[in-house]
Amino acid sequence: VTAAGPATRPPLPQGKAKQVFVQTLFDRIAPRYALVNKVMTLGLDMKWRRKAIRLLGLAPGSVVVDLACGPGEMAGLLNAGGIRAAGFDLSAPMLVAARHRLPLAQADAALLPVAPGALDGAVSAFALRNFADLPAVLDECARAIRPGGRLSFLDVGQPANPVVRVVGNFFLNVVAPVVGGIVSDPEAYRYLPRSVAYLPPPAELVRMLDQAGFTNARHHPVSGGIVQVFTATRSATAPGSAGASR
């Protein structure tokens, strides 16, 4: 509280301002991003990433992109499983931080440099809430993934069980800002818990996937719902629009 009244936090940015904010933030924290992830999730992030890839359910040899790939950890795990993986991210410093030599390129997930139907699948991890225009990203996935192809998106969740929710929120609201603030950048890691507010509720995201041109859209709570995975299959018919009823 200040003399001017209770301290208020600035509203979360939206639209183009959000995209610029997110890109600048990840450019800044890129060098230590993967390290902070490992410390603040106690290494569980790799287990969650593997789960999302299992739920993708595609065979070795499939062509899959890691959207908003950061240092490309999902791409690395896909490649280790025999999948032909590439990654795209807005932030060039995030791509530079990769510890493998898979093809990674700077691109907006809402404007992918791939031909229609060229992909067997797409994955993303901890990126849904960072997209400035999530419906546009889902529409772009429907364009780029072939009919029958798959997507699997991992992000943080809201556990239904109150005890698990307290534990999950402790890591998100306390551990992440403290660890991130010490090892990396305090402002960036204060944004992390706030960014959860961007995530649509699971039923809404499932509806958006349906509207974008996917079938069989499913929500999978993982680790008691601390994280969640959304999977879907590209429908055989022409894509719709995830933002149609916005």
Ligand X SMILES: C[S@@+](CC[C@H](N)C(=O)[O-])C[C@H]1O[C@@H](n2cnc3c(N)ncnc32)[C@H](O)[C@@H]1O
Torsion sign (Cα): 242, 149, 206, 52: negative
Binding residues with ligand X: total (CB under 6 A): 22
According to CB under 6 A, which one of 53, 86, 94, 179 is a site residue for ligand X? 94
79-82, long-range: CB < 8 A, 24+ apart:
81/53
Q: Which of residues 126-165 bind ligand X (CB under 6 A)?
A: 126-127, 130-131
Phi-psi region of 2 (alpha: psi -120 to 50; beta: other; left: phi over 0): beta
Is the Cβ of residue 101 or residue 162 nearer to ligand X in the bound state?
101
Q: Which of residues 217-236 bind ligand X (CB under 6 A)?
A: none
For 141, how many CA atoms within 13 A lie in the half-sphere containing its CB? 37
Q: Are 196 and 126 within 8 A, CB to CB? A: no
Alpha-carbon gap, residue 45 to 227, rounded angstroms: 9
Q: What are φ and ψ of residue 107, in 5° steps? A: -160, 155
* Residue 109 lies near ligand X (rule: CB under 6 A): yes
* Residue 91 lies near ligand X (rule: CB under 6 A): yes
* Residue 68 lies near ligand X (rule: CB under 6 A): yes
According to CB under 6 A, which one of 69, 85, 229, 232 is a site residue for ligand X? 69
Q: Which of residues 18-47 bind ligand X (CB under 6 A)?
A: 22-23, 26
Using the rule CB under 6 A, give the single segment among 97-105, 106-114, 205-213, 218-226 that binds ligand X.
Answer: 106-114
Given the rule CB under 6 A, which residues bind ligand X?
Answer: 22-23, 26, 68-70, 73-74, 88-91, 94, 108-110, 124-127, 130-131
